[in-house]
Amino acid sequence: MKRPFALGGTLFRTANHLFLVLLSLACVLPIVHVLAVSLSAQTAVSAGEVLFRPVDFTVQSFDFVVHKPEFFVAMSVTLKRVALGLSLNMLLTMLVAYPLSKRVGQFKLRTGYAWFFVATMLFHGGLIPTFLTVKYTGIMDSVWSLVLPGAVPVFNVVLLLNFFRNLPHALEEAAIVDGAGVWTCLWRIYVPLSLPALATISLFTVVGHWNAWFDGLIYMNSLNHYPLSSYLQTVIIQQDLSRSAVTQDEIELYMNVSAKTIKSAQTFVGMLPILLVYPFLQRYFVKGIVMGSVKE
């Protein structure tokens, strides 16, 4: 009687594993193709011979990227934006989520403030009011115009406050009995026990700042102030090379490569740093750090 159920479970696990493998390939193969194109010769790429392995291996496209100072200037702007944005976003997210995670008896206005923040996710002033606010604040053409407008990511606040609510209240009550204040409870109890949630939110924040390109186009007046994604949008996608200086050596090097190989090389170099972040944060994704902290 148990064999049909065992067979069904085996088929389900097999189908599930097959689906996950196909989903993983759908995510990895485009990256492999971009890398293969960037390492292939111009003629092979133009003939459509490159799929998932380089043809006529060459690194001339990466040489072209290395000789483009604008590319690394844009990357430095993005790194600065990620550092400032991550620090500011995480600090404000924790400071907002902690009081909103309290019960109504502890914070009577919690519900009203929570709905106020949720309303900002549903209703937005629009592009023009946001642009005018940034302009008259005096932060145009600076990295602060890329960081301050989204300083409080409400979606991350909602995720973190729900995680805070699921933490055992007995831990905070015991700390308060021992003389701990709200700041001690936040930094000594809630933050250490919320590492999985904080790591996930940090990853969302880093990816969001790294991939954002539209705000750089509208808030920056100089190409030297563009973040990397805005630079790639302008120079690679729109192919607006007139906005960057091209030397004679670069013209000679450009003759040995194609626009597609250069795009692939710059795209791969641009995505490489963010790909390196994932392995260090993946181990925090497994929830369960609170298990066993309170015994009934």
36 and 124 co-located in one domain: no
Instruction: Supply the pLDDT for residue 5.
Output: 57
pLDDT for residue 281 is more than 70? no
211, 186: one domain:
yes
- Same domain? For 190 and 105 the reply is yes
Q: How many domains does the chain have?
A: 2
19 and 82 share one domain: no
- 199, with CB counted inside 10 A (0-12, 13-18, 19+), is middle
What's the predicted TM-score (pTM) here?
A: 0.76
Q: What is the dihedral of CA 100, 106, 107, 108, to 10 degrees?
A: 130
46 neighbors 261 (Cβ within 8 angstroms): no
Domain housing 5: 1-58
Q: Domain ends where: 13, 29, 58?
A: 58
* Pair (49, 153) in one structural domain: no
Neighbours of 232 (CB within 10 A): 19
Tell me: do 9 and 97 sit in the same domain: no
pLDDT digits (tens, 9 = 90+) for 120-155: 888 877 888 888 988 898 889 889 999 999 888 888
CATH of the domain at 204: 1.10.3720.10
* Dist. CA 237–CA 67, nearest whole Å: 19
Residues 46 and 166 in one domain: no
Residues 33 and 168 grouped into a single domain: no
Asked if residues 77 and 143 have their Cβ atoms less than 8 Å apart, the reply is yes
Per the rule left: phi > 0, alpha: psi between -120 and 50, beta: everything else, 141 is left
- Are residues 26 and 130 located together in one domain of the fold? no
Instruction: Tell me the pLDDT tens digit for each residue of 38-54.
Output: 888 877 777 777 888 88
Answer yes or no: do 47 and 81 share one domain. no
